[in-house]
Amino acid sequence: MPIRIPRDDAPASPGGLLRPALTLFIVLSLVTGLLYPLAVTGVAQTAFPHQANGSLITQGGKAVGSELIGQSFTEPGHFWGRPSATAPMPYNAAASGGSNLGPTNPALAEAVKARTEALRAADPGNTRPVPVDLVTASASGLDPHISPAAASYQAERVARARRLPMAQVQALVLQHTDTPWLGLLGEPRVNVLALNLALDTLSKQ
């Protein structure tokens, strides 16, 4: 007599598939949408509260900017940052982006020429080569730093405008120059906002 093997070819009911799928959806939503963000936020607020809250710079108890986002400075007594190509205004944190102009684009050459002329006009006696970061925008348009060379290029103009000894301004630049992390990663850089705030405080004193 042939042996019959029982087979269950009946399709699963929609209700039988819906329950485990819904359970998995709820569990994953709780883990990835609630528990994980809460855990990461808690660790960040505990271990790195300054960075987790935007690396804000405060003065007199009020936030005046962030260490991570540049600001526009145009007065002779302030150090100027890198140009910004964000729209509709410079250093627009809601529209980070560069000019996307290639090195052979005539528009870039014209922009660099105009920025160089503005720097020369602000400090006619300065005949040193203009550092490239003072006439070219960063990829983000929000770079808050300039190179030590760019700060040194502007130091004489700032000292003259504020009637401060050149050595005092140079010492302030050196004080606000960040070195590469562990001496290896990154380049020396100067945070423009922090430096200008220190200048303002010095001038008030």
pLDDT (tens place) for every residue of the chain, 205 residues total: 566 655 555 555 666 788 888 999 999 999 999 889 988 998 888 887 888 888 888 887 788 888 889 899 999 999 999 999 898 889 998 888 888 888 889 999 999 999 999 999 999 999 999 999 999 999 899 999 999 999 999 999 999 999 999 999 999 999 999 888 877 787 899 999 999 999 998 877 7
Q: How far is CA 46 from the centre of its chain?
A: 23
Identify the pLDDT of residue 102: 87
Closest CA to 73 of 144, 136, 177, 131: 144
Count CB neighbours of 81 within 10 A: 27
Identify the pLDDT of residue 12: 58
Question: Rounded to an integer, what distance in angstroms lies between the CA atom of residue 11 and that of residue 15?
Answer: 11
State pTM to two decimals: 0.78
User: Taking the domains of the chain in order of start, what are their residue ranges?
Assistant: 69-204
Q: How far is CA 97 from the centre of its chain?
A: 11
Count CB neighbours of 140 within 10 A: 19
Contact 164, 202 (CB under 8 A): yes
